[in-house]
């Protein structure tokens, strides 16, 4: 009887370890060769909400939600450039982290810059 209880306890402990929640908030950040004033990118994957992080002088314009994909334009206020976290992405408990894809980047005068000089990252 005691052996069965130990086996049951071990199974329950293993099951509890495998149920780690994947919900939370992730930040999307841009890095590049020179300061950017605006960026257009896609968030691909499960997400519940997209917002500007507190204190950032940015405006976001999400559009084109198609299934689990949303296209977002982020524009820095006059006199500012994009730095730090551009947006936060809240995800539910899906076990899958969204990915990001950079489409366009604009300089301070809104001229298009080469996207090959920039990269996006998404992390907690």
pLDDT in tens, 26-40: 999 999 989 999 999
In a domain, 7, yes or no: no
Please tell me the pTM assigned to this model: 0.77
Number of domains in the chain: 1
In a domain, 55, yes or no: yes
Range of the domain at 49: 22-123
- Domain of residue 109, CATH code: 2.60.40.680
In a domain, 13, yes or no: no
In a domain, 10, yes or no: no
In a domain, 98, yes or no: yes
Say if residues 89 and 25 touch (Cβ distance below 8 Å).
yes
Neighbouring-strand partners of residue 62: 72
* pLDDT score recorded for residue 6: 36
* pLDDT score recorded for residue 121: 93
In a domain, 5, yes or no: no
In a domain, 2, yes or no: no
Q: Which residues are within 8 A (CB) of 63 and not within 5 positions of it... i.e. 6 or more apart?
A: 70, 71, 72, 73
Neighbouring-strand partners of residue 88: 27, 51
Confidence of residue 24 (pLDDT cuts 50, 70, 90): confident
| CA 6/CA 121 separation, integer angstroms | 45
Closest by Cα among 86, 50, 45, 90 to 69: 45
């Amino acid at each position: 009887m005691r052996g069965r209880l130990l086996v049951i306890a071990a199974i329950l402990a293993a099951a509890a370890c495998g149920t780690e929640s994947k919900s939370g908030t992730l930040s999307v950040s841009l890095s590049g060769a020179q300061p950017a004033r605006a960026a257009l990118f896609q968030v691909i994957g499960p997400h519940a909400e997209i917002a500007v992080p507190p204190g950032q002088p940015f405006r976001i314009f999400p559009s084109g939600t198609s299934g689990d994909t949303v296209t977002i334009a982020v524009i820095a206020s006059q006199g500012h450039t994009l730095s730090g976290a551009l947006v936060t992405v809240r995800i539910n408990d899906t076990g899958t982290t969204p990915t990001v894809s950079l489409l366009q980047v604009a300089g301070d005068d809104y001229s298009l810059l080469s996207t090959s000089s920039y990269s996006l990252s998404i992390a907690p």
